[in-house]
Amino acid sequence: MGLAFTHEGLHLRKRRFKRPYMDATTVEIYERFVMGNYGRAPLTLVKGKGCRVWDDTGKSYLDFVSGIAVNCLGHGHPVWVKTVQTQAAELAHVSNLYRHPRQGELAEALVAKAGPGRVFFCNSGAEANEGLIKLARLCGAQKAGVEGKVHKIVAAENAFHGRTFGGMSATPQQKVRKGFAPLLDGFSFAPLNDLEAFAAQVDDQTAAIFVETIQGEGGIHPCSVEFLQGLRKLCDERGILFMLDEVQCGVGRSGHFFAYEEAGIRPDAIGMAKGLGGGMPIGAIWVNEAHADLFTPGSHGTTFGGTPLVCAAALAVLEVLEKENLLGKVREESARVWPRLQGWVERFPQKVREVRGKGYMVGISFHEDPAPILARLREKGLLVPLAGGQVLRLLPPLIAGPAEWDEALGIFEEVLAE
């Protein structure tokens, strides 16, 4: 459908939109018109179904990237597709100037999982984390009675919290920060799982501690149960916020809806995104009852956050997680495949340094740059993403079962043995 303007107004006409470069390939179009800030694989994907995708030559790949932990239901899940189609035809966007049923239903569902509190909806994990940083500033100002006195945040070394200025300031990685100085002040860092080091960073100006329950882009480093429990106690003793970034590890990827659940604790605030929409762009922050009123009208907002369309998609994700018992299946299948994964350290000692993670969030650490292995896996029909620290990740859809895992691990083992 093309658009044509007439004196009578805007009308739709049945004609194909004419591009000025009709004979150009997708690669040529990207090179001419799309910014080059991604190191893309030499691959053009055109179709997906279940745990597989196809490129423009018709070649099939097993997708263990899942849109970087986004496509938790795989591609084209019938419940998700039908829900999105129905909602798109009914009501797609109204802004947050008005209520709509889907946002309320989704907020209620997330509160049921996280605990008493309230939810703010945004568009991405970076925005969710930005909201948490603003929450910490508001909490510190309330505590001190004045802005700017209590504002510091203690985060983890090797963390990744997004590419906004707040997210970069909470991310001590030079490759993320380079070119954007000066960043926000008030951030300090300590080694993950070192409770004493975190405690040493807390002072009278500290407003919050902020960590990923499982570091994703930093190389798949999980917080230990003892560390999470210790941080909860430390924050309680010092009267500061305990905030968790569950953007990549949440929504079932660990085998629990939230990865922190294994520790038996509850944070004060959670950032989430990625798998929540199953392919639709949605982020959210949950804040407990004690701090949920810190955001007041005008203090924070978004145009596209929590639209009817994306909230319907997220509700479909929650429905499928429950009806297909995907969390139980993730735990069951993880128990089967993890011993095989961890055996790679002994089977391929010259290549594999360590295998770490939880559930369907696996990091394989290599002694050398794994880029050649990544390329070889792609040639053999398996797509996986890189992470920091010479790590390849396995992030399959939560629907992946024994057949998909055995195929993926078989391909991986063939490449490691070459």
Instruction: Give me the tens of pLDDT residue by residue for the chain, a chain 418 residues long.
Output: 343 433 334 333 344 455 655 567 899 899 999 999 888 999 999 999 999 999 999 999 999 999 999 999 999 999 999 999 999 999 999 999 999 999 999 999 999 999 999 999 999 999 999 999 999 999 999 999 999 999 999 999 999 999 999 999 999 999 999 999 999 999 999 999 999 999 999 999 999 999 999 999 999 999 999 999 999 999 999 999 999 999 999 999 999 999 999 999 999 999 999 999 999 999 999 999 999 999 999 999 999 999 999 999 999 999 999 999 999 999 999 999 999 999 999 999 999 999 999 999 999 999 999 999 999 999 999 999 999 889 999 999 999 999 999 999 999 999 999 9
The amino acid that residue 330 corresponds to is: V
Angle made by CA atoms 51, 54, 57, in degrees to the nearest 5:
165
> Given this model, what pLDDT does residue 1 score?
36
Instruction: Give the helix/strand (H/E) hosting 12.
Output: strand 9-13
> Given this model, what pLDDT does residue 225 score?
98
Asked if residue 211 lies in contact with residue 171, where contact means CB atoms within 8 angstroms, the answer is no
> Given this model, what pLDDT does residue 407 score?
98
Measuring CA to CA, how many Å separate 407 from each of 176, 290, 401? 34, 48, 10
Q: Which domains does the chain have, with CATH numbers?
A: 9-64+326-417 (3.90.1150.10), 79-323 (3.40.640.10)
> Given this model, what pLDDT does residue 21 score?
58
Helix (H, G, I), strand (E, B) or coil at 354: strand
> Given this model, what pLDDT does residue 19 score?
61
Q: Of how many residues is the chain composed?
A: 418
Question: What DSSP line would sit under 214-237, residue for residue?
Answer: EETTTT-EEPPHHHHHHHHHHHHH
Give the bridge partners for 357, in sequence order.
362
What are the helix (H) ranges across 301-352? 308-323, 326-342, 344-347
Instruction: Give the helix/strand (H/E) hosting 168.
Output: helix 165-169
Question: Residue 91 corresponds to which tokens in the numbers above?
Answer: 């009501």
The amino acid that residue 393 corresponds to is: R
Structure pTM?
0.92
Looking at residue 16, what DSSP letter applies? Answer: P
Rounded distance between C-alpha atoms, residue 13 and residue 36, angstroms: 34
